[in-house]
A = this chain, B = another copy of it.
Amino acid sequence: MFSKACEYAIRATVFIASESEKGNRVSLKQIAREIDSPEAFTAKTLQKLSRSGIITSTKGAHGGFHVLPEKMTEIKVSQIVVAIDGDTVYKRCSLGLSDCSEEHPCPFHSRFKPVRTGLQEIVENTNLKDLTSGLISGETFLKV
Contact = CB atoms under 8 A, between A and B. Distances in A.
B107 A14 contact: yes
A67 to B, nearest CB: 14
Contacts of A68: none
| 5 smallest beta-carbon distances between A and B, as pairs | A7-B96, A107-B131, A107-B140, A111-B122, A115-B118
A95 B15 CA distance: 13
Interface of A: 1-2, 4, 7-8, 10-11, 14, 77, 89, 92, 94-99, 104-109, 111-112, 114-115, 118-119, 122, 126, 131-132, 134-135, 139-144
A96 B42 CA distance: 14
Nearest to A114: B118
A88 to B, nearest CB: 9
17 contacts: A1-B94, A2-B94, A2-B95, A2-B96, A10-B108, A14-B107, A77-B108, A97-B141, A98-B144, A105-B139, A106-B142, A107-B140, A107-B141, A107-B142, A111-B126, A115-B118, A115-B119
A71 to B, nearest CB: 16
Nearest to A89: B1
Contact of A122 (B10, B115, B132): B115
